[in-house]
Amino acid sequence: MILIRRFFLVAIFCYLGFLSSFAKQKDIRLALQKANVDIVKMAYGKAGLITYNLKTGTYSVTDNGHSYISSAFANLKLNDDTLSSTGSFSRKYSKTVISNGFGKGTRHVITLTASGMPLLQQIFYTYPGRNYFFVQLKVTGKQLTSNYMSPLVARFTSLGKGERSIFMPFDNDTFISYNAKDLNKGVTNTSAEVGLVYNSEKNGIIAGSVEHELWKTGVSVANLTNAHNLKVWAGYADKDVTRDTVPHGIVKGTVLQSPLMMVGYFADWRKGLEEYGKCNRIAEPPYVFNWTKATPIGWNSWGVLQDKLTYDKAVEVTNFFADSLKAFRSGSTAYIDLDAYWDFLKQGDDFSKLKEFADYCKSKGLQPGAYWAPFTDWGHKSGGSRKAEGSDYTYAELWTKTGRGYHDIDGARALDPTHPGTKKRIDYFIDHLKACGFKMIKIDFLGHAAIEAKQFHDPAVTTGMQAFRVGMEYLVNRMDNQMLIYAAISPNIATGRYVHSRRVACDAFKTIEHTKYTLNSLSYGWWQTYVYNFIDADHVVFANEPIGANRARLLSALITGTFITGDDFSANGVWKERAKQFYQSKALLKVLKSGKAFQPVDAATGIGASTAFWRRDGNEFYLAVFNYDKEAQHHDITFAELGIDPRDIRQCTEILQDKSFAYSNKLSIDIAGADAALYKFNLNK
């Protein structure tokens, strides 16, 4: 009997132990289920994954299992407060299927709420066909103001050997350069609109804005003692980069949102930047009409003539192109463009001499072009009481008003793009140039229209990029689809909506140093060929430079995508014979047909330039190689670097000197000092 009782007691204890163990396991399962509810996973591309923690308000990102962003959060300045997604919010997740210019995808929304607080949303856009994602920050409430919104503040994984961060300029003014900086400890690099980190294996992380109509964007990369930090924010203003002397303008309303920011990890940073360029054109389609005619080529008077421009010299140049450069044509024409000082050809409001010149160009089978800076006052030192052309307003009324007076740069004072006097001035000049019959216009110093101000004439406009949009849309509308629009000094990316072609760097002329400077911008800005119909290397000047420097300067234009010459062809000199030789080469003109820029083969360091660039057109592969130094250089380039199989090559020719080129299992190239070469490979497939 005692044994039976003992047996039942043991059984009872075992059962109670089982129940306790079961309860513990249930508690664990419930905890795991709750944890899983707190985790949101958002897939993108082939193998990308964003993992968001609803409990902490942070997220991480992996690509093919490789973690490259962690501890990411959003923050913003709102009215007098600073808010962060990591704050005391309740967070809920929702998603919807979308279809837009990027394809079919998913819009993921993390909604953050708290008592007495505006509604905060972190929005992610993912697409199965795109190996990157977009992130945006949005806030909804009453009487909201902000000049800082960041959808991404994070740590990023070091890329290791040869890690560099590229300084990306906001514009191409003041001979600014791209800069490939060693990302050593303690280094912080801030770029405008887009940031890039890459390593010696060409792996890269890219983050940047693809919308530019309201905000200026900054991208900060830092290698600090304990971590690699990344921040992408709307509201960037810097005197040395965006040219602003006052903080970014305040955005106001009941709904505020940051620009759409693209973020991605790429096996090849060059492909990533090209994708970024294409995204900009999708996110902000061109406002200007699409250029479907042939790649524009021609001549511009700023190369040599500058303030020596006269009617007779312009006619002599036209005659030279009509009589001695008959084969220098694209789509059966070339442009003869009068740069600054064409006003020497007019008297007061009498534009008849300019019309006479435009008519003469057309009679010779050429197209006339002109130049203008729509948002600058070059006579501001004479005082502001002068009347602005086409209006009863004084120039002083048009000047953009910053917190420290006015905005002066490059010797010119900025004009408020929203002021009715600025618009009437646009009407005056554009209407006259259209009436004269000009078919191309080079517009310059557009950065003056994007400057932050204490206030604009239009009270609804509160940021520099808003003012830029108002001014540029008005200008494009006034041109009424009658001109090819070419931008010189201007914002690198935001100008893409409004022009067909844009100069990739600042002024460049004839020397090998000018070529290197231009190609610095191509080395890290070639991808803008996907933001614009064309990008341009500025006027090519031969002058009396050695022929090697001539070849390099010519080639710098060809690989950028268009060709604008600049010598004084109204005077005799060696440049005339060399122009006849090079400008009429069928092989060289064929390179211009696509109008697209070449991609760099190798990365540059500091403010240097890549030494080799390539492009493939069907079964034709081009390789351009440069030597910026005085001494001869030897280059070994493998076919693997170029992505072609040497067994597919039928023929190789060096085009600039028109000679065949022998190769083995690699390219062994010798380039004379201050010279360049262009190789064409005919491929079987």
- Residue 666: per-residue pLDDT: 84
- Residue 425: per-residue pLDDT: 98
Instruction: Convert 86-136 into a string of H (helix), E (strand) and C (coil).
Output: CCCCEEEEEEEEEEECCEEEEEEEEEEECCCCCEEEEEEEECCCCCCEEEE
| Single-letter residue type at 540 | V
- Residue 32: per-residue pLDDT: 44
- Residue 185: per-residue pLDDT: 85
Provide the whole-model pTM. 0.93
The string over 144-180, giving b where at least 16 C-beta atoms fall within 10 Å of a residue's C-beta and e elsewhere, is bebbbbbbbbbbbbebeeebbbbbbbbbbbeebbbbb
User: Is 498:491 a contact under the CB 8 Å cutoff?
Assistant: no
Closest CA to 601 of 492, 664, 522: 522
- Residue 13: per-residue pLDDT: 52
Instruction: Inform me whether the pLDDT recorded for 11 exceeds 60.
Output: no
Q: State percent of the chain over pLDDT 90.
A: 91
User: Is 398:384 a contact under the CB 8 Å cutoff?
Assistant: no
- Residue 517: per-residue pLDDT: 98
Comparison of pLDDT for 421 and 602, the residue scoring more: 421
Closest CA to 597 of 632, 622, 630: 622
CA atoms of 554 and 569, how far apart (whole Å): 16
Structure confidence by residue, pLDDT tens digits, 598-628: 999 989 999 999 999 999 999 999 999 999 9
Instruction: Inform me whether the pLDDT recorded for 487 exceeds 50.
Output: yes
- Residue 30: per-residue pLDDT: 46
Instruction: Convert 262-278 into a string of H (helix), E (strand) and C (coil).
Output: EEEEECCHHHHHHHHHH
User: Is 95:135 a contact under the CB 8 Å cutoff?
Assistant: no
CA atoms of 295 and 589, how far apart (whole Å): 10
Taking CA 412 as the corner, what is the angle to CA 409 and CA 416, rounded to the nearest 5 degrees? 95
| Mean pLDDT for the stretch of residues 180-184 | 93
Q: How confident is the model at residue 516 (pLDDT cuts 50, 70, 90)?
A: very high
- Residue 403: per-residue pLDDT: 81
Q: How confident is the model at residue 17 (pLDDT cuts 50, 70, 90)?
A: low
- Residue 36: per-residue pLDDT: 66
Q: State percent of the chain over pLDDT 70.
A: 95
- Residue 14: per-residue pLDDT: 54
Mean pLDDT across the chain = 94
| Mean pLDDT for the stretch of residues 281-288 | 98
- Residue 186: per-residue pLDDT: 86
- Residue 16: per-residue pLDDT: 52
User: Is 165:152 a contact under the CB 8 Å cutoff?
Assistant: no
| Mean pLDDT for the stretch of residues 633-656 | 92
Residue with tokens 């990739």: 504
| Mean pLDDT for the stretch of residues 209-230 | 95
CA atoms of 15 and 585, how far apart (whole Å): 95
CA atoms of 534 and 298, how far apart (whole Å): 14
Six-digit token string for 673: 């000092």
Structure confidence by residue, pLDDT tens digits, 113-169: 999 999 999 999 999 999 999 999 999 999 999 999 999 999 999 999 999 999 999
- Residue 226: per-residue pLDDT: 82
How far the first Cα of the chain sits from its last, in Å, is 95
